[in-house]
């Protein structure tokens, strides 16, 4: 139960970068398309180029600002995951054929995501740029989104079929072709 509470906790309770994330609600998972820009900004080559052209104070300031941006990106990624994770719970409640195995899989996914999220966040706070891990976390959110879209499409098709079947039965065989 403690692990589940930890997964579902409000991330705003804990220290987050002082960046306004109000715009994130409007993005609706589009932030995944911004990963290449985050990767470029956090690349070692980019930092080396900046260090060779700018003063040390400016270089430190830019690195600090870029770390804040990466942390904001990471927070948005977590927010999207939590929205999708909750949507998965709703879809599971509408699909009675899903059993305990799928619920356990969803719980494991939530715990694994939260663990990886916290490890990446700590690495950013310590000054590292864990770009491969950040990319893999972004892929997890993308795959979950695709799986949920497929599940919702399947549920929609089943509902349409059930509605069509119910309407043909209401006519008691009097349907005309």
Query: Concatenated DSSP letters for 25-78?
Result: HHHTTGGGGGHHHHHHHH-HHHHHHHHHHS-HHHHHHHHHHHHHHHHHHHHHHH
| Residue 14 within a domain | no
Instruction: Determine the Cα angle at 135 with ends 102 and 24, to 5°.
Output: 85
Range of the domain at 39: 28-168
> What domain count does the chain have?
1
Q: Give rounded-to-5 percent helix, strand, coil for the chain.
A: 80, 0, 20
Is 159 domain-assigned? yes
Q: Is 22 helix (H, G, I), strand (E, B) or coil?
A: coil
pLDDT in tens, 151-170: 888 877 877 777 777 766 65
Query: Is residue 89 in a domain?
Result: yes
Distance CA 175, CA 48 (A): 74
Establish if 6 belongs to a structural domain.
Answer: no
Domain assignment present for 22 = no
Q: Give the model's pLDDT for residue 21.
A: 35
Q: Which residues of 82-98 are buried (b: 16+ CB within 10 A; e: fewer)?
A: bbbbebbeebbeeeeeb
pLDDT at 168: 64
- What is the per-residue pLDDT across 25-84, written as a single tens digit (0 to 9) for each? 343 455 667 788 888 888 888 888 888 988 999 988 988 898 888 898 999 899 889 888
Residue 12 in domain? no
Identify whether 124 is part of a domain: yes
Answer whether residue 136 is part of any domain: yes
Helices (H) and strands (E) in the chain, counts: 7, 0
């Amino acid at each position: 139960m403690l692990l589940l509470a930890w997964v579902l906790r409000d991330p705003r309770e804990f220290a987050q970068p002082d960046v306004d994330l109000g715009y994130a609600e409007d993005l609706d998972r589009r932030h995944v398309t911004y990963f290449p820009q985050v990767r470029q900004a956090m690349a070692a080559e980019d930092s080396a180029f900046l260090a060779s052209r700018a003063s040390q104070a400016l270089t430190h300031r830019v690195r600090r600002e870029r770390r804040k941006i990466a942390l904001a990106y990471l927070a948005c990624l977590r927010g999207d995951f939590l929205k999708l994770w909750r949507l998965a719970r709703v879809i599971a409640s509408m699909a009675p054929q899903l059993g305990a195995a799928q619920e356990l899989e969803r719980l494991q996914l939530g715990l694994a995501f939260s663990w990886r999220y916290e490890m990446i966040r700590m690495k950013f706070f310590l000054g590292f740029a864990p770009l491969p891990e950040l990319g893999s976390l972004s892929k997890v959110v993308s795959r979950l989104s695709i799986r949920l879209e497929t599940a919702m499409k399947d549920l929609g098709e089943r509902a349409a079929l059930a509605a069509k079947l119910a309407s043909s039965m209401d006519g008691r065989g009097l349907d005309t072709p």
